[in-house]
Structure 1
Amino acid sequence: MRRPKKYQSGEATQYITRKAALKKLQLSLNDFRRLCIIKGVYPREPKHRRRAQKGSSELKVLYHAKDIRFLLSEPIVWTLRNYKIFARRSGRDRAVKDFRNLKRRLALFPELKIDHIVKERYPTFIDAIKDLDDCLTLLFLFSTFPSLRLIPREQSAMCRRLTIEFLHYIIAAKAIRKVFISIKGYYFQADIKGQKVTWIVPHYYPFKPHAKSEVDFKVMSIFVEFYTIMLGFTNFRLYHSINMAYPPQFPEGVMADSEDILKDESSFVSDRIAALNHELLRIDKQDEEDEDIEIDLELLEQDGDSKRVLKMKQEAQEIRKLKSLFKGLKFFVSREVPREPLVILIRSFGGKVSWDKTVFDGATFDETDETITHQIVDRPSMSKQYISRDYIQPQWVFDSVNQRNLLPTNKYFMGVDLPPHLSPFVDSKRETYIPPEEKALHDPSLIETHEQSDAEEDEEEEEDETAQNLIDAQLQAAYQEEKAEFDADMQNLDDNEEDGYEDEESADDDNEEMDEKEKKRLEEKSNMAVESGTVHKENKRAQHKNAVEEHRLQARMVKPRHRNLFRKLIREKQEKDKEQWLLKKKRKNIDQAEKITKKANKKKAKKIVQ
């Protein structure tokens, strides 16, 4: 039997370097990178890098040999090779000035079709929905880009159209469940076919070019090329699932992509938002109540699953209520407020929205409309106000959606300091630091103790003093009552003794028994008197010492082979405790600073009044 040579089996044959893969596929580095992104083939990290690199200690990019063999049978490899042939032949025609032949070659330019790859990577429709998170985030980002050297205008326009089509489905299906404002943009989470899809809509800022070392737009453009095909298929299926015509038809002047609109950034954004405020055509018109198919969960109820079914019923009721959260409400958005996320949210939950038609296109009613219930303003004051509507800040819409209920508007009036905007994507039962505002949301009994003004604090101090005085008075009255009863009993005892002197010879034994019983009863009654309690102070030093001793005993019980794991767990716990302590300390300092400023403002106000 022949002895196998070194590096001819095992990991050395399972991995292949990028240089060897390029040689095997006969492609350039750019074409190979494009092929790998479209097919979903990425570098792998071997378990033993030195063995996989056949003894070499140099860091190399490694791929699975099976993946490279998989790429050999891909039809678009020949299309990528035809690009090289086309570039060489068209360059020769241009050099010899054979423009007739060059025109013929340009008409036969090889087209790269990746429809079959989308079907290959996502065999079922649910698989495509599960992978929508990165797709939507990237396409929403590219939809705000201008025309760049590596990003043609056609690509960004296609991203804009596909994202608007997707948002129209979200609005029609009322699929949004959570939303959050962050420094990156607006986080949205929707329930699509039972799958949670989360994406980011970036804040709109004028585009600022970046250096090539910071962002590689060429690689990102390849991802966009694949994701546009994928989202197009997904939109087609989603529209037909709710009886909507695809592609959607927008009114004239909207989504026209004319040269004037593409040159002006404000017109470009205004045209996008106007398209979102347009009602699309449905194939089969139905009432909103008929669209929600009610599932009779009582048929699923069993002996052991009753709690789970009750939870499902409660969740279904909350979602049904959430879908009609803004039904019957009309919102008017002022010109300083970002309109796109508000239009998405308000229309998704049954509300109507408009803005100043003299500034932006797509308005449906004027500011003078008396049926407007809420006006969204982001300025400290307004010269003209209507009594029939509430003037609120934009955060009210986001917080109402997250709480699945219309919140009171008094905390969101113009010029009012807004409450903290809490993220709905965190676990409410986590072991880390939880802000008091979040605790108050889950435990309504903490609401009154959390948010208080200085006047309320003064009133509470007075109430505490009066309550303490009342308790002292009650204790004193109870003590006086007990003392009066005790004196009355003693008086009765003396009277009985005087009467007993007259009949000493007839009832001596009976009096002695009665005296003993009375004495015991009075002693027990005196022990039942109310006394003021004493405060028990805990010794923190002793508690810390006991905790350290318990930790040492736990460490001794750990086996030597598990000691490193135990130390890692203890270290993680210490880091969590330290982070929680720092956050509590930070919050305490913020609260103290707010109290100091409130007191200072209160003193100034008193001086001004005087």
Structure 2
Amino acid sequence: MGRRIKYESGTASNYISRAAAVKKLQISLKDFHRLCILKGIYPRDPVHKKKANKGSTQNKVFYHARDIQYLTSEPLINKFREYKTYMKKLIRAKNKRERNKATILQINKPDFKLDHLVRERYPTFSLALRDLDDCLNLLFAFALLPKSKVVKSTVIEDCRRLTAEFLHYVIEAQCLTKVFVSIKGTYFQAQIMGEKVTWLMGHQRSVGRVQDVDFATLANFVDFYTTALSFINFRLYKSIGLLYPPKLARSKNANSDDVEDELYSLAHELQGTAEDIAPVDVFAEMEDDGDIADKMKEMMKLKTLFKGCKFFLNREVPNDTLTLVIRNCGGMVSWDGCPGGKYSENFDGITHHVIDRPLTDSFTMNRIYIQPQWVLDCFNYRKILPVNKYVPGAHLPPHLSPFVLESSGDYIPPERMEMLRELGKEIPAQKENAPILKAKTKAKKSEKKDKVLIKEGKVFNANEQQLLHAAGHTKKLREMMIPKRYKNAYKKIQFGIKRKAKETRALEDKRRKREVVAAVEK
């Protein structure tokens, strides 16, 4: 056998440092980062870093050797080199004041597409839907940013257009399931072709210049996600028989002074193709005692929640959030200056007027004035709630998150318990009741009070404190019998249970104080 050379096989050959990868690909570090983001290749953390670093203890970033070998045949590398050559020629022409040559170079600017990357990273459509959460969160965030040197106006326009197209699909397909408004923005969840898609849409306000954020790196993600979302939107529109790209109505952005800075309106209905398929009643042949049937019936009830209702939104109300929820439930929406709106504020057929300020003397008697939270709570409760708690100027009830999944031992507010009861869901136990022995003794005492029992001799009354000590002693003995290799895991579990109980007690005390203050104020 030949002599085995050290650091030439195994971990040392399976991993390669970033500097060596850049040298192998013969591109700059900036282009290398961009290429890895577009191809979906990320650094690896080898188990034996010293072996991967060939005996050195220097801190380095490692990649898998097969990933770097996969990048060597990527055609984007040549496109990056062509663009670098183009920039050198353009700068030289501008410095020499050769305007004709510079104009010709700008016309023939090299461009590249990322369509093949989308097909490589998402071989099936279900994989693309699973990765849609990050895509939507990033594009919705960029849609609210102001123009800058890094974030160009074309990128912002593409983000706004693609996100508006996706929201129109959610409205037409009526697949929205959950909504919650927080300080960060509005959380949405939709059921799209069997996949749960969750995204965050920021509030409509002026963002300003954001600091301490590497927009150059995020822009590389945006380049890929805009291409991917255009493919996804096309497939989604085709699945429900809609034309793509759709004709979207635009509205002026009230938070900007730029004439070209426009937003896409969600109140405008899209036009479908001539091959539209009529909806099929999926419950005609389904039995009533099935979980899937109950969920689908709940969704069908949600689709017609606001059917026949016509809403008018005041200017201080978030248009996109409420329009998405109302139109998803079969209602109609309009506001002042609404492109494609079918009625104005003076229309007599308006049933609900959403306002987020104190009501003045100028109001119409034949419509209901409500605050925006009423729409969201009706959607989460899956029914029309009374409007007396949501009138303008009233103290609103708590806005509960439908994304929270309670477990046993958690603190559950009374409003959340009522919501779970109305939705027909199981309510987990908030606290462990008193010990079983204590409960049994109480039951015995109540039986003795209700019934007259005649027995000879003295009735033995068990000492409850002794029973508790005996139960604790038994628990300690069981803990002593736990094997040593499982004791650390057991201690962590017990620590988590105690921390959860402490948080629950703190929330209960906070609720109790709040109720006392409210009672004093009344």
Equivalent in 267, 278, 286 of residue 277 of structure 1: 267
Cα–Cα, structure 1 residues 316 and 83, in superposed 2: closer, same or farther, change >3 Å? same
Checking the alignment, whether the CA contact within 8 Å between 2:253 and 2:261 is kept in structure 1 is no
Task: State the match for 2:232 in structure 1.
Answer: 234
Report the alpha carbon displacement of residue 87 of structure 1 after superposing the two structures with TM. Answer: 2.5
Task: State the match for 1:373 in structure 2.
Answer: 351
Cα–Cα, structure 1 residues 367 and 101, in superposed 2: closer, same or farther, change >3 Å? closer
Equivalent in 220, 223, 234 of residue 222 of structure 1: 220
Task: State the match for 2:11 in structure 1.
Answer: 11
CA distance in 1, matches of 2:381, 2:241: 30
CA distance in 2, matches of 1:266, 1:338: 19
Equivalent in 370, 381, 388 of residue 410 of structure 1: 388
1:138 equivalenced with 2:132 (yes/no): no
SS in 2 for 1:571: helix
CA distance in 2, matches of 1:313, 1:88: 64
Cα–Cα, structure 1 residues 547 and 433, in superposed 2: closer, same or farther, change >3 Å? farther
Task: State the match for 1:457 in structure 2.
Answer: none
Checking the alignment, whether the CA contact within 8 Å between 1:297 and 1:313 is kept in structure 2 is no
SS in 2 for 1:178: strand
Q: How does 1:197-346 map to 2 (within 5 A)?
A: 197-211=197-211, 214-250=212-248, 254=250, 265=256, 271-272=262-263, 275-284=265-274, 290-292=278-280, 294=282, 298=286, 310-346=290-326
Query: 5+ unaligned residues in a row in structure 2: which ranges?
Result: 424-449, 455-460
Cα–Cα, structure 1 residues 270 and 43, in superposed 2: closer, same or farther, change >3 Å? closer
Cα–Cα, structure 1 residues 270 and 363, in superposed 2: closer, same or farther, change >3 Å? farther
Q: Which amino acid in the other structure matches residue 392 of structure 2? A: M
Task: State the match for 2:519 in structure 1.
Answer: 595
CA deviation profile, 1:492-541 (whole Å, cap 9, x unmatched): xxxxxxxxxxxxxxxxxxxxxxxxxxxxxxxxxx9579xxxxxx9996x6
Task: State the match for 1:460 in structure 2.
Answer: none
1:354 equivalenced with 2:334 (yes/no): yes
1:384 equivalenced with 2:375 (yes/no): no
CA distance in 1, matches of 2:370, 2:307: 18
CA deviation profile, 1:356-384 (whole Å, cap 9, x unmatched): 34xx6554312232221111121233212
Q: Which amino acid in the other structure matches residue 315 of structure 2? A: R
**TM-score between both structures, scaled by the size of structure 2:** 0.87
Report the alpha carbon displacement of residue 297 of structure 1 after superposing the two structures with TM. Answer: 5.3
CA deviation profile, 1:265-317 (whole Å, cap 9, x unmatched): 178799525x2111221112769xx324526654xx8xxxx96xx11111111
SS in 2 for 1:279: coil
CA distance in 2, matches of 1:109, 1:527: 100
Task: State the match for 1:514 in structure 2.
Answer: none
CA deviation profile, 1:555-576 (whole Å, cap 9, x unmatched): 2110122222222222222222
Percent identity reads 42
Cα–Cα, structure 1 residues 110 and 366, in superposed 2: closer, same or farther, change >3 Å? closer
CA distance in 1, matches of 2:282, 2:4: 67
CA distance in 2, matches of 1:100, 1:385: 64
Q: How does 1:14-53 map to 2 (within 5 A)?
A: 14-53=14-53
Task: State the match for 2:157 in structure 1.
Answer: 157
Checking the alignment, whether the CA contact within 8 Å between 1:270 and 1:361 is kept in structure 2 is no
CA deviation profile, 1:206-237 (whole Å, cap 9, x unmatched): 122123xx100111111111111111111111
Checking the alignment, whether the CA contact within 8 Å between 1:186 and 1:202 is kept in structure 2 is yes
Report the alpha carbon displacement of residue 13 of structure 1 after superposing the two structures with TM. Answer: 1.4
SS in 1 for 2:269: coil
The structure with the greater share of residues assigned to helix is 1
Query: 5+ unaligned residues in a row in structure 1: which ranges?
Result: 256-260, 446-477, 479-525, 530-535, 599-610
Q: Which amino acid in the other structure matches residue 361 of structure 2? A: S
Checking the alignment, whether the CA contact within 8 Å between 2:179 and 2:189 is kept in structure 1 is yes
Checking the alignment, whether the CA contact within 8 Å between 1:334 and 1:377 is kept in structure 2 is yes
1:436 equivalenced with 2:414 (yes/no): yes
Checking the alignment, whether the CA contact within 8 Å between 1:179 and 1:189 is kept in structure 2 is yes
CA distance in 2, matches of 1:595, 1:537: 41
Task: State the match for 1:491 in structure 2.
Answer: none
Report the alpha carbon displacement of residue 144 of structure 1 after superposing the two structures with TM. Answer: 1.6
Task: State the match for 1:504 in structure 2.
Answer: none
Task: State the match for 1:86 in structure 2.
Answer: 86
Q: Which amino acid in the other structure matches residue 552 of structure 1? A: K
Q: How does 1:183-202 map to 2 (within 5 A)?
A: 183-202=183-202
CA deviation profile, 1:449-500 (whole Å, cap 9, x unmatched): xxxxxxxxxxxxxxxxxxxxxxxxxxxxx9xxxxxxxxxxxxxxxxxxxxxx
Task: State the match for 2:426 in structure 1.
Answer: none
Checking the alignment, whether the CA contact within 8 Å between 1:180 and 1:423 is kept in structure 2 is yes
CA distance in 2, matches of 1:32, 1:384: 63
- Name the Cα RMSD after superposition: 2.8
CA distance in 2, matches of 1:105, 1:250: 34
Report the alpha carbon displacement of residue 33 of structure 1 after superposing the two structures with TM. Answer: 0.8
Report the alpha carbon displacement of residue 416 of structure 1 after superposing the two structures with TM. Answer: 1.7
Report the alpha carbon displacement of residue 25 of structure 1 after superposing the two structures with TM. Answer: 0.7
Cα–Cα, structure 1 residues 267 and 149, in superposed 2: closer, same or farther, change >3 Å? closer
CA distance in 2, matches of 1:25, 1:548: 66
1:557 equivalenced with 2:460 (yes/no): no
CA distance in 1, matches of 2:275, 2:160: 27
Checking the alignment, whether the CA contact within 8 Å between 1:331 and 1:376 is kept in structure 2 is yes
Task: State the match for 1:424 in structure 2.
Answer: 402
SS in 2 for 1:12: helix
SS in 1 for 2:151: coil
Task: State the match for 1:395 in structure 2.
Answer: 373
Checking the alignment, whether the CA contact within 8 Å between 2:145 and 2:208 is kept in structure 1 is no
SS in 1 for 2:263: helix
Q: Which amino acid in the other structure matches residue 588 of structure 1? A: R
CA distance in 1, matches of 2:463, 2:366: 58
Checking the alignment, whether the CA contact within 8 Å between 1:43 and 1:61 is kept in structure 2 is yes
SS in 2 for 1:159: helix
CA distance in 2, matches of 1:228, 1:146: 18
Cα–Cα, structure 1 residues 57 and 586, in superposed 2: closer, same or farther, change >3 Å? farther
CA distance in 2, matches of 1:181, 1:331: 20
Of 278-287 and 405-414, deviating more is 278-287
**How many aligned residue pairs are there?**
490
Task: State the match for 1:506 in structure 2.
Answer: none
SS in 2 for 1:368: coil
Cα–Cα, structure 1 residues 85 and 286, in superposed 2: closer, same or farther, change >3 Å? closer
Q: Which amino acid in the other structure matches residue 193 of structure 2? A: K
Task: State the match for 1:466 in structure 2.
Answer: none
1:55 equivalenced with 2:55 (yes/no): yes
Report the alpha carbon displacement of residue 133 of structure 1 after superposing the two structures with TM. Answer: 0.7
SS in 2 for 1:180: strand
Q: Which amino acid in the other structure matches residue 267 of structure 2? A: N
Checking the alignment, whether the CA contact within 8 Å between 2:176 and 2:190 is kept in structure 1 is yes
CA distance in 2, matches of 1:409, 1:206: 32
Of 388-397 and 546-555, deviating more is 546-555
CA distance in 1, matches of 2:238, 2:154: 26
